[in-house]
Structure 1
Amino acid sequence: MRDQATIGSNHDIAKITLSAVGEVYNKKICDSLMDRVNAAEAVTKALKRRQTENEQNFRNKEYYNSFIRFIEIMKRIKNFIIDVSNLNRYQKFVHSGSVKDRFDSLTNDFDEVMTESHFTIAVANEEQRMIDQFALESDIADMTKFLEKIGGGIIDQNQKINIVLHEVSLLKEKLDHSDSDQNIKAKKIKSTELNDPLKSKPTDHLQNSDPKEAAKIQGHLAILGKLHESPYIIKFYGLSKIENSDVMVLDWAEYGSLKELYSKYDIEWHVKVPIALAICRGLTFLHSCEILHHDIRCAHILMDANLTPKIAKFNYSRMASGPTSDMKG
């Protein structure tokens, strides 16, 4: 039982470290917690190395229960790091006070259980508490400012993190963990409903793929259909058939690609800056959905009649946690 508990704690700490590697937001908060994780890692390694000497401690019920509580706290730290460092999970912290409350609860519980178990660590002191407080206040202030200014579809009209980020996350989980994705499909559009200014683009992926691969592509297209919540990503309406070929139905781009635009016109700086900012906001939206485009260039940015850039051509995009996928658009 003692060995299983120690091994379990090492496994949980390893998962926390992996979670922290991909952190994007609230890095100072995550770093403060990682100080404790690193201290905990040193403790568990020492316990494992000196199993015989510590066997008597683990036979003590209070000591053993404290160690089990220590493992649970490490799991809570892992979940908090995941929640606070990802935009699509940050919505659960409706008020910045809830971030502070949960952070304080975790650090206090951690320091307490380390004292109960007589573990020697260097994080439960006044200097560390000052570092923790600065990290907390700094990240909360930065996050509040970021959410006020980011735009690009991440924040909805009610000034809340757009629910589509969570919806995309759920779709991705279904695609990642299910052998059968038959129920996740892109919207079907009758060819009789097509008219300008929509644009149709042939795709032979569904016709030439085996059922499992076709289902995967359908899932990726369903995700693509959610991304139009950002005004800086090309809107994908769904799939249709024209002359017996599957086509993707996309929004019309009056000026073609950004490459075509600057080849024909001399774009002034006061126009270039908003275009660049809009593209950055579109990429931030994608990243918040844990989608990495991988092939951003002027030829893959479409321009509408208002000179609003639309990120397109998702051929080489991939989910942040998965392999490259051919999510064309």
Structure 2
Amino acid sequence: IHAASAAIQNLKIRKEENRQFFTETNLVLLSKLKKVMIKIAKYIKEIREFKWLRRYFTSKSIEETFRLLTTEFDGYISSLNFSIIIELKMQNEKDCAALKHDTHETNQLLLQLVESVNYNKEFRDDVTKIKDGVMDIKECVQDIKNIKDCVHDIVTMLKHFEEFSTMKKLFNNLQSSQYKSELKEEDFIDSLLNLGDFTFAERSRGGIQKWIRNSDHLELAFTEINSNLLSKEHQKSLLFEVSLLKKLRGSRDIVQFYGLVKDEYRSKMYLVTEWSQYGNLREYYKQKKLKPSIKLQIALDIALGLNFLQACQILHRDLRSVNIMIGSHEHAKLANF
């Protein structure tokens, strides 16, 4: 192209000397030669900018396009009888050799790119597998922790069962006349709570008061017991029975007992249990329309509570809606058993 451009430029400079060259036919050939030179220049630019790489394996090969352009170029040069035809032919051979070399290097570059992409993909796959493995290990550790917590809860529950069983046997023995006289204050003293450890919160629901334990702000229910109607022996039996019920801490489906507290100033005694946020079941379903899913959950909670009491050899003799309390998260708990 440079040689042809130089020859054309030389013709322009020596226009007067080469007037006979600029015939109508040669002018047409020069115009076509210019167009093919523009095509060749554009073609070379595309190769430099790698625009062909995306179409490398689907369109005509580089050699084929190069051959067509150079053939067209050589034809116009031959028709114009330029003196540079031989030089252009030699340059063409050099360009073909260089093009083959560049094509080989391009192929090698593409292979390296493919290998790099494959390596990166394999590396990402390995990293993903490692991450999945770490997550599996974390899940296993969490499962082990959950099992450990479950075992701890079971051991605690069995301990409470054992304590409850021992006290129940003692309580049954104390009901007989030969043991009643042996009932002493030290057998139930742990049931007495200090009223000063609690703060009154509000009066609520048929004589049941809401109090707050000062140490941890736990909400508790104080149910008044008319101690004036109880004989001294009955009061002792009540205190011992509450001590027994305090041991039933292995189930979340029954109301938890915390003990008894005396108000010496008002001469009153209160049974201390956990506070039920929504009151009893009768109050709850009168105030709120229950979804079928909530009804099923309440039924399941009641069944689990009865199953727990049966395991403790306790028969609930007054199972009705007023003796089923609804705590937080709409969880049902058995009471007054």
State the TM-score, normalized to the length of structure 1: 0.45
Relative contact order (C-alpha < 8 Å, sep 6+): which is higher? 1
**Structure with greater strand share of residues:** 2
